Structure 1
Amino acid sequence: MTISPSFVSLVDEANRPLFVYVTPSESEDVNQVLKYNVLSNLSLDYFENDLFDWSSLETQPDIKALFNLEGVAVYGMIIKQTGLKIIIGFLIKENIQELNDDEISEVFMKVKKIYLRAKLNPFVAPSSFDDSKELSAKLQKKFSEEL
């Protein structure tokens, strides 16, 4: 069984949101979109906390279990070289007791690859990404296709 995220948030080193992706099935519900934006913002406090380093998944020390709130399990990862924070939320269903660490790790790796492919495309001039709308549109398309 593969899991899919409810939302993915990318935040830069200055805690400015670069992009928040909400799955197409939930993007029509304004309350869900708002809830995921709030959860994403709450996650930033966990990155600043001293306990952040203690909350790792057993198999992936870079991925941290941040919190469970309102039926959503939120995980985070920081790429220390760039300061990029990746925040991913998964809906917790009644029939699933625990999320699988390997599946969570797989989703994080997929998100990293999508971001890097969009950001480091050799066929696009780097200055074109100064306009974050273009990067957001590209990420939205890729996340919708691959997640």
Structure 2
Amino acid sequence: MEKDSEPLERESVGSESTVAFRPCFISLIDEFDKPLLVYVPGQDEQEVNEVLKYNVFSNMSLDYFDSPLFDWVSLESQPTVKLFFQLEGVAVFGMLIKPTGLKIVIGFPQESYDSEVHEQEIREIFQRVKKIYLRVKLNPFANLSSGGSTSREEIVQKLEAKFNAEF
């Protein structure tokens, strides 16, 4: 049985060589459980069923954030990345940033988390997404309107542009 997934590529970051993972989707959800963005990189963006599936996975993740089964006690400087579920070939992970209430949900191909090296890569991708969000949200030079929805739309557009460049 052939797999349709692409082989993992090696990329050099400084003097380190790391495996480059490509997430299936990245979802950012605000403290009021409203999705800011469900980003689907590359070719999956064209497939309507895939986009719909990732939106459903993002909504399902909200139940995991609220579940008493998941202990979110962690250092504020080191939010914990947790595996929520595996469904239809996608392993869905989540991170809660307590001070802001931001929820980051990222889906990876299911085979991408089966070793400690891959787990470290997944944590690093979460940190990159968190940094991108903070840079967009807290950029003092960004011309974000003071209005609620316009500012939110501008943030989403800037996030999409940054995610396109990164992933």
* TM-score relative to the length of structure 2: 0.78
Q: Larger radius of gyration, structure 1 or 2?
A: 2
* Residue 98 (structure 1) aligned to one of 92, 110, 114: 114
How far is 1:133 from its partner? 1.6
> More relative contact order in 1 or in 2 (CA 8 Å, sep 6+)?
1
Q: How do 1:63-78 and structure 2 match up within 5 A?
A: 63-78=81-96
Q: Which letter maps to 1:144?
A: N
| C-alpha RMSD of matched pairs (Å) | 2.0
**Unpaired segments of 5 or more residues in structure 2?**
1-18
Q: 2: distance between equivalents of 1:127 and 1:22?
A: 26
Is the CA contact (8 Å cut-off) linking 1:71 and 1:92 kept in structure 2? yes
119-128 or 1-10: which moved more? 119-128
Is the CA contact (8 Å cut-off) linking 1:72 and 1:90 kept in structure 2? yes
The share of aligned pairs that are identical, in percent, is: 55
Is the CA contact (8 Å cut-off) linking 1:5 and 1:88 kept in structure 2? yes
Do structure 1's residue 25 and structure 2's residue 39 form an aligned pair? Answer: no
* Residue 155 (structure 2) aligned to one of 118, 131, 135: 135
Specify which structure has the higher proportion of helix: 1
61-70 or 5-14: which moved more? 61-70
Q: Residue 132 of structure 2 aligns with which residue?
A: 114
Is the CA contact (8 Å cut-off) linking 1:3 and 1:103 kept in structure 2? yes
Q: Which letter maps to 1:50?
A: P
